[in-house]
Amino acid sequence: MEKKRYLVLDDGTVFEGRAFGADVPSTGELVFTTGMCGYVETLTDPSYYGQIVVQTFPIIGNYGVIEADFEGVCCVKGYVVRDWCRHPSNFRCQYDIDEFLKGKGVTGIYAVDTRSIVRQIRERGVMNAMLCDSVPEDLSVIKNYRISDAVEHVTLPEPVVYSSIGQCNYRVALMDFGAKRSILSELRRRGCEVVRVPAHTTARQIMDMSVDGVMLSNGPGDPAENTAIIQQIGELFGKIPIFGICLGHQLLALSRGGKTVKLKYGHRGSNQPVRDLLGSRTYITSQNHGYAVVADSAVKGTLSFINANDFTCEGLEYPGEKAFSVQFHPEASAGPRDTSFLFDKFCGLMDGD
């Protein structure tokens, strides 16, 4: 008989399901993602550090696990699905999702009403939760859980240099706050030699590398906690072309005196519509974030993109300073590649355009 497992929310709500993945209790921040595919990329995106992820799509695991599609280190605290596929069918499949979760020490639960769970989050906002095999009487561990020092847990320890694919046209410093591998791939395909550096690398150290531009990566946690990093980005601003994505977008805005706020339940999935305020198009984008920049709060920052659903800030331009940033993921793995042209824009800035 299949083992029972429980998802316990910090308000005492309990969802009973069945166990898969690792067999250890786990507490985290409960969030949901609306992607219909890309669960491999979700499970290996460092931006999910400290979070229990709910998949809204009802069946997960049908094409198995493909390690070539990993975006980074698995940092999720738990995984919640309605159904998981025990017999994946894909010529690239290496093993199933249950084996992946066990190997990474991630607790999972299935056979739960994920629609009801998501409704709870949408009505109340992001909350804490625990995955466990028996319901605790004391909920204080769940209620007191906080994600802290997230970037420090996911950044790499030492600089690593990646050669360009084809002719080398640029040298780029990628500040790693939990960078997805796809960002690195997009840069390399455009002739960039990439120096991937730890999050706390100083502005002076970066400038001494003789780079042509700086990429600020995605990453987890509250952006305002990273005061030392924000200061170093501020010292780079105006001296060298800068492109920020997701957390990098938020940190760049904070370095210009901007403000960030925590969203009620965030934007996570590959179907987020974004309006281009400097053009006439609406793009479908991939996103994974729980915080947003307060529009017009950053000094010299001009709003360039907004979310078509809730009108939150999705991008900022810094005219005359060779810097811009977006909240969404133009590398989009998984997701649409509508906005990959932004990497070409970054290369244009390094060319002096």
In the chain, which segments carry CATH 3.40.50.880? 150-351
Phi then psi dihedrals of residue 39, to 5 deg: -65, -30
Which among 250, 226, 256 is positioned nearest to 238, based on CA atoms? 256
Phi then psi dihedrals of residue 239, to 5 deg: -100, -20
209 in Cβ contact with 289 (< 8 Å): no
pLDDT score, position 1:
61
How many C-beta neighbours within 10 Å does residue 75 have?
A: 21
Correct CATH for 4-143 of 3.10.620.30, 3.50.30.20, 3.40.50.2300, 3.40.50.300: 3.50.30.20
Instruction: Tell how far CA 148 is from the center of its chain.
Output: 16
Q: What is the pLDDT of residues 169-196, one digit of tens each?
A: 999 999 999 999 999 999 999 999 999 9
| 215 Cβ contact list (under 8 Å, min separation 6) | 172, 173, 174, 175, 183, 187, 194, 242, 243, 244, 245, 248, 346
Alpha-carbon distance 224 to 244, whole Å? 15
121 in Cβ contact with 265 (< 8 Å): yes
**pTM score over 0.85:** yes
222 in Cβ contact with 147 (< 8 Å): yes
Element at 169 (helix H, strand E): none
In the chain, which segments carry CATH 3.50.30.20? 4-143
**Catalytic site positions:** 246, 329, 331
Q: What is the pLDDT of residues 81-119, one digit of tens each?
A: 999 999 999 999 999 999 999 999 999 999 999 999 999
- CB environment 225-246: b (16+ within 10 A), e (fewer): ebeebbebbbebbeebbbbbbb
SS3 351: helix
Which among 85, 103, 82 is positioned nearest to 23, based on CA atoms? 103
- CATH-assigned architecture of domain 150-351: 3-Layer(aba) Sandwich (3.40)
Q: 303 burial class (0-12, 13-18, 19+ CB within 10 angstroms)?
A: middle
Q: What is the pLDDT along the chain (353 residues), one digit of tens a residue?
A: 689 999 999 999 999 999 999 999 999 999 999 999 999 999 999 999 999 999 999 999 999 999 999 999 999 999 999 999 999 999 999 999 999 999 999 999 999 999 999 999 999 999 999 999 999 999 999 999 999 999 999 999 999 999 999 999 999 999 999 999 999 999 999 999 999 999 999 999 999 999 999 999 999 999 999 999 999 999 999 999 999 999 999 999 999 999 999 999 999 999 999 999 988 899 999 999 999 999 989 998 999 999 999 999 999 999 999 999 999 999 988 888 899 999 999 999 999 87
238 in Cβ contact with 283 (< 8 Å): no
Alpha-carbon distance 195 to 193, whole Å? 7
